Structure 1
Amino acid sequence: MVSSVAARLPRAFWALWVCQLVNRLGSFVQPFLVLYLTQDRHLSIGTAGAVAAAVGAGSVVSQLVGGWLSDRVGRRRTMLIGFFGTAAALVLLGSARSMETIWAAAFAVGLMGDLFRPAVQATVADLLQPSERVRAFGLLFWAINLGFSVSTVSAGVLASVGYGLLFWLNAGTSVVAALVIWSMVPETRPVASEGPARPLLPVVLRDITFLLVVLLQIGYATIYFQGYSTLPLAMAGDGLPSSTYGLVIALNGVVIVVVQPFVGRYLAKVDRSKLLAVSMLVVGLGFGLGAVVHSWWGYGVSVVVWTIGEIGFAAVVGAVLADLAPVDLRGRYLGLAGMAFGVGAVIGPVLGTNALQHLGATMTWLMCALLGVVLLAGQLALSPALRARAAANAVEVGLPA
């Protein structure tokens, strides 16, 4: 699949692909942050979950700021600010000792860590036609998880030696990613038309379809982020070591790396909205399996199931959002949509860790499954409006509907 697409995708896209790969190869901190805070910093489960939520709070602001910067100062500059800023914030968090510094550094990691996301998505949308975007976003998703599958396994080994090294290595790969952008990715922001730029808020508040999509993404992200907050704690509660969590969560990246290249061409032909609906359900049911498993292989099966749903979701969600966004507001629209994951990163760890502490693992995972059913129904109800909106936007820019 890669060879057939390479002939059509520009050099700047492949630079973004390399950037994503390098960045995720060093993503050691996020999967082990809660374990680091509870085992190395000796914080309570609730406090550790709240610190993880502070990272999510920074991500909420990050997506909005990143989208605004992408439209105002450019995609390239926004990515450089994000990657260099992430490196600095990670070093600060890894060396923080007081709770005040930990809170501030955690928020800064979230703020800088997701600044590049709307810029990357806007760059892909700038470079490619709508018909090419599903496969392009799928390739970026593949690169991210190729790196993630390596980083989680190695991070589990490194964590057994000491958590401090994880922060420095993660910071180093952020710097390398910034250098790739600096040397290989040009500015792609469309030239603004004469006259004042349209403000985002009045347009978005009238865009009910887009707002409902954002709401569904928040629900999906709330489920998804249990994999990096509640899951390691549940496994530890079943007597499994942190290295086992590293191996189990690495299955997420391995399944994506193995499966996604073979299904990408097929997924590009499936109705996007229906695929989103089914994928969110599968993710919810995959986490729901945690209610009946307690062994390493049982958790492994759970990860494989929700990863299959994640593949379907990630293959089309970027293209759907790009289709919905007006060209002059593309960065800010994508930043607002990306904010949904930041909100989920706040809600997910708080709800999940507190549900685990007060209601137990079984009820926590069953609630994930129930939320998946709700998301399925909501997305299916929204499908006709999404198809009509995509067709109308295609006609507006002179493309086949």
Structure 2
Amino acid sequence: MSSAAAVESPAPALPRAFWALWVCQLVNRLGSFVQPFLVLYLTQDRLLSAGTAGAVAAAVGAGSVASQLVGGWLADRVGRRVTMLLCFFGTAGALILLGSARSMATIWAAAFLVGLLGDLFRPAVQATVADLLQPGERVRAYGLLFWAINLGFSISTVSAGVLASIGYGLLFWLNAGTSVIAGLVIWMMVPESRPALDEGTSRRPLLPVALRDTVFLLMILLQIGYATIYFQGYSTLPLAMADDGLPSSTYGLVIALNGVVIVLVQPFLGKRLARFDRPKLLAASMLVVGLGFGIGAVVHDWWGYGLSVVVWTIGEIGFAAVIGAVFADLAPVDLRGGYMGMSGMAFGIGTVVGPLAGTNSLEFFGPTATWIGCALLGVVIFIGQFALAPALHARAAANAATA
């Protein structure tokens, strides 16, 4: 092999519109001040009970789950750009409404709107990336978006605590302001990318197509399984660490490793992950996450739990980089937004199933069985995802041939 051939070729430059989306993700997450402090605001400033405040936070979550399907439908029917503009400008208004609401009816409505409008962006941006980039470039692009989200959120969670000490109202206004800025970036720099239909054809309805797509439905089930494992990190893990006599401050430091590893490692892994077979990389990433949580079965100290977090975070980086690319390969071109939305909704279902399953398992079976269960579920979804690889390759080839 010649020395010239041995030199790694540089990755192709990503288009300007993609970097505008990257800036939007970063700005939007930099301003994510309200969500981490919503329950504290409601209990301390609005004097609601803890149960009521939790229910209001759940209303935000319900809106977020619904937004995946709505956002995907809008992205296909109305357009990616319009959906993203509605997300950012609408979220700004909903945040101001929530921060100024006095009646419970208004608080409930505003909370649901914050969740509904705030996550319309997700399926639209994933579909836009698929529209703008060739399949070989998508893993790197989705990985960079994931990095922007975590970089921005890591900064916002620290700064939000300082800002909250000044006044909770400031959090709502600043969060709304960054949402408007993100919307302006879309307005000025991101054109509509929705593929045009052939003359004389109309857009197919999403659900009749998706519900007959066996490969897609199996992917949805596997993603719910993955999310069920993943959300143990934010529900079962702090309880298990408390059972081992570790204070909540130690959990805070351990879970902070997740963001640190993502911010430091993802930029170096992104381009390299693009070299691997996408469905098989997805399967391997799911397995690493499951086994990472499984480490909890044999550790009882902060460093052991820290090792667990580092391992499953590596798997999370691989999953986040490749999942959008796999669904982009799987989706019919005219239903990309809808398929991305249903994928996001599956992950949202996992946010409900995961904490319920994990905390109940911890209570009735103990931590060792719970973490072993996570590892076993990781093995099951690895096998399922790996078995789907040939079908996913065939679908990707068929979609590429008709694009």
Change (3 A) 1:98 1:279: farther
The one of 349, 360, 368 equivalent to 2:374 is 368
Contact 1:54 1:346 in 2 (8 A): no
Matched residue type, 1:43: A
1:3-14 correspondence runs (5 A): 4-5=10-11, 8-14=13-19
1:111 paired to 2:111? no
Written as runs of structure 1 = structure 2, the 5 A alignment for 1:379-398 is 379-397=385-403
Report Cα offsets for 1:312-340 as digits up to 9, x if no partner.
11111111111111111111121122211
- Conserved 8 A contact 2:333-2:399: no
Distance 1:232 1:327, change over 3 A: same
Query: Does structure 2 retain, via aligned residues, the 8 Å contact 1:123–1:189?
Result: yes
1:239 CA drift (Å): 5.8
Deviation at 1:79, TM superposition (A): 0.6
Residues 241-267 of structure 1, C-alpha deviations (whole Å, 9 max, x = no match): 46x655443322221122122222221
RMSD between aligned alpha carbons?
3.3
Counterpart of 2:277 (choices 268, 271, 281) is 271
Gaps of 5+ in 2: 1-8
CA distance 1:372–1:127, shift in 2 (3 Å)? same
Q: Quick one: which amino acid aligns to residue 228 of structure 2?
A: T
Moved more, 193-202 or 232-241: 232-241
Work out the CA distance in 2 between the residues paired with 1:332 and 1:272.
21
Change (3 A) 1:241 1:28: farther
Counterpart CA distance in 1 for 2:98 and 2:29 is 18
* Corresponding residue for residue 286 of structure 1: 292
Aligned to 2:348: 342
Distance 2:365 2:116 in 1: 31
Q: Are 1:24 and 2:29 an aligned pair?
A: yes
| Residue 64 of structure 1 pairs with residue 80 of structure 2 | no
Contact 1:156 1:246 in 2 (8 A): no
Q: Which residue of 1 aligns with 2:140?
A: 135
Please give the per-residue CA displacement for 1:117-170, whole angstroms capped at 9, x wherever unaligned.
111011111111112111111221222222123223334555677766544443
Alignment of 1:259 onto 2:265: yes
Change (3 A) 1:266 1:200: same
- Find the aligned partners of 1:332 and 1:57 in 2 and give their Cα distance: 18
Q: Is the 1:35–1:232 Cα contact (8 Å) retained in structure 2?
A: no
What is the Cα deviation at residue 365 of structure 1? 4.1
8 Å contact kept, 1:148–1:250: no
User: Judging changes above 3 Å, is the alpha-carbon distance between structure 1 residues 365 and 52 closer, same or farther for their aligned structure 2 residues?
Assistant: farther
Question: What's the offset of the Cα at 1:308?
Answer: 0.4
- Mapping 1:113-192, distance limit 5 Å: 113-155=118-160, 166-192=171-197
C-alpha distance in 2 between matches for 1:52 and 1:132: 37
- Comparing 31-40 with 270-279, greater Cα deviation is found at 31-40
Pick closer, same or farther for the CA change 1:26–1:365 going to 2, 3 Å.
farther
Shift of 1:107: 3.0
Distance 1:67 1:90 in 2: 22
Distance 2:282 2:391 in 1: 14
Matched, 1:303 2:302: no
Task: Tell me what 2:322 maps to.
Answer: 316
SS at match of 1:206: coil
1:138·1:260 contact (CA, 8 Å) conserved in 2?
A: yes
Greater Cα shift, 373-382 or 31-40: 31-40
Partner of 1:89: 94
Query: Residues of 1 paired with 2:172 and 2:359: CA distance?
Result: 23
Q: Return closer, same or farther for 1:130/1:62 CA change in 2, 3 Å cut-off.
A: same
Amino acid corresponding to residue 317 of structure 2 in structure 1: I
* Residues 1:234 and 1:23: Cα distance change in structure 2 (over 3 Å): farther
- Give the corresponding residue for 2:6: none
1:184-263 equivalences in 2 (<5 Å): 184-193=189-198, 194-231=200-237, 240-241=247-248, 246-263=252-269
Distance 2:295 2:322 in 1: 25
Partner of 2:3: none
* Cα drift, residue 50 of structure 1: 5.7
Residue identity opposite 2:232 in structure 1: Q
Aligned with residue 327 of structure 1, among 333, 343, 355:
333
Between the aligned partners of 2:386 and 2:39, the Cα distance in structure 1 is 35
Separation in structure 2 between the aligned mates of residue 289 and residue 53 of structure 1, nearest angstrom: 30
Aligned to 2:4: none
Query: Against the structure 1 CA distance between its residues 186 and 332, is the aligned structure 2 distance closer, same or farther, given a 3 Å change threshold?
Result: same
1:253 to 1:83, Cα distance in 2 relative to 1, 3 A: same
**What is the number of residues matched between the two proteins?**
391
**Cα distance in 2 between the residues matched to 1:97 and 1:355:** 39
The structure number with the bigger radius of gyration is: 2
Q: Residues 357, 96 of structure 1: CA spacing in aligned structure 2 closer, same or farther, 3 A cutoff?
A: farther
Whether the aligned pair in 1 keeps the contact of 2:80 and 2:125 (CA below 8 Å) is: yes
- Percent identity for Structure 1 against Structure 2: 79
3-state SS of paired residue (2:211): helix
CA contact (8 A) 1:219 1:371 kept: yes
2 CA distance for matches of 1:239 and 1:248?
11
Is the 2:238–2:248 Cα contact (8 Å) retained in structure 1? no
Using a 3 Å threshold, how does the CA distance of structure 1 residues 359 and 229 change in structure 2: closer, same or farther? same
